[in-house]
Amino acid sequence: MFTFEIHKKDESTKARLGQMTTAHGVVDTPAFMPVATQATVKSLSPKEIEDIGFQMVISNAYHLYLRPGHKTVEKLGGLHKFMSWNNSITTDSGGYQVLSLSKTRKIKDDGILFRSHLDGSEHMFTPEKCIEIQESLGVDIMMCLDECPPFPSTKEYMRKSIDLTTRWAKLCRSSKKHTDNALFGIVQGGVYKDLRVQSANDLIDIGFEGYAVGGLGIGEDPEQTYETTENTLSVLPVDKPRYLMGLGKPEDIVTAVSMGVDLFDCVIPTRNARNGTLFTSRGKLVIKNAQFAEDERPIDEGCECYTCRTFSRAYLRHLYIAKETLVLRLLTIHNLYFYAELMKGIRSSILSGDFPNYLSRVQSLGGEKEN
């Protein structure tokens, strides 16, 4: 059971307000998925993630295959039961690990040979295996196996790469057995417009429940990221959800929404929190800075998250400098609350017709630091 409906479109941009419905509930779009690579959003419980306001998380099929094993998760009732998350789940296929684990893998015509970063054992990831793993996990949205090439790559290499991704996408589509979940194809092609168009059209011919834009945010200029995203979206079906993979700065999210993107994921809010960098309504704040040692204010005086309602900047800085584990939870709560409110603001502004003003306000915060 998977459906997608568009309820309203912004009149002056391509932003749209909609809903994805999965076997585990409704996801209001545009939506952001916190990253739960190992079946957990680092430092927080599933109940906390839900209470903050998220309706979907994204886990990683490759990592869960290695540990604890997809068959183990299946035997224990599936990923939802295993991690006590009753809402929707997406899984990345492992295609991004082609890039991030480039020193320990080999790309072959029939799949990817990985050497485990845990024990050195070798594992062959074929498109068929990729679907088997994700169906065993019982997730709501599965991603096709793809190759995520590095930036920069030559056009010749990229052309061969998208041919491989298309062949794998066909095999993923034909291997899918379950009918109650969705399979998304992933458009590749680097920053080459004609190859992006070719990749998108190839995937449309195969037919998927949704389409992702992959292979961006890996070293190209922001202008190239935006231009490539917009060019790709112009080809993709307007009645299917569009997912921009891995980009997650607030200004990137609102800009991509203005182009017609519906779904996002990124480690930025959680990773930045663990590194002491916080998002506020006035820009970024680095909590370890000495200027906050006696600051009685919350992280963001306009924020209603548990951390801001309860603790001062001075206390949070103390915890961070003292390397207390509590600070990881408190800072992560704040950053994810900021992102949940960002997405709520996007959706409400599209509904009210005020999205262009909201877009300008968020874009103006990009790179700003609060004093």
Which is catalytic among the residues 92, 140, 262, 300? 92
Q: What is the spatial distance between Cα 95 and Cα 371, in angstroms, rounded to a whole number? A: 40
Check if 92 is active-site: yes
CA atoms within 13 A on the CB side of 64: 31
d(CA 265, CA 59): 10
Answer for the pair 177, 185: CB distance below 8 angstroms, yes or no: no
Residue recorded with tokens 């169906």: 135
Parallel, antiparallel, or unpaired: how do β-strands 56-60 and 88-92 relate?
Answer: parallel
232 near 195, Cβ under 8 Å? no
Residues facing residue 142 across a β-bridge = 91, 183
Tokens of residue 106, six digits = 């080999």
Tell me, yes or no, if 10 is annotated catalytic.
Answer: no
Q: Which residue has the tokens 């700065």?
A: 249
Question: Which residue in the list 140, 146, 252, 265 is annotated as catalytic?
Answer: 265
Triad 102, 111, 152: Cα angle to 5° = 40
The sign one gets for the Cα dihedral 270, 272, 275, 277 is negative
Q: At CA 329, angle to CA 326 and CA 330, rounded to 5? A: 85
Span between the terminal Cα atoms of the chain, in Å: 48
Neighbouring CB atoms inside 10 A of 120's CB total 8
Give alpha helix (H) positions in the chain: 46-52, 61-66, 70-75, 79-83, 97-100, 127-137, 155-175, 193-206, 222-233, 250-259, 268-274, 306-310, 313-321, 326-352, 355-364
Which of 285, 286, 326, 284 has the alpha carbon at shortest distance from 307? Answer: 326
Closest by CA position to 53, among listed 16, 27, 21: 27
Active site residues: 92, 265
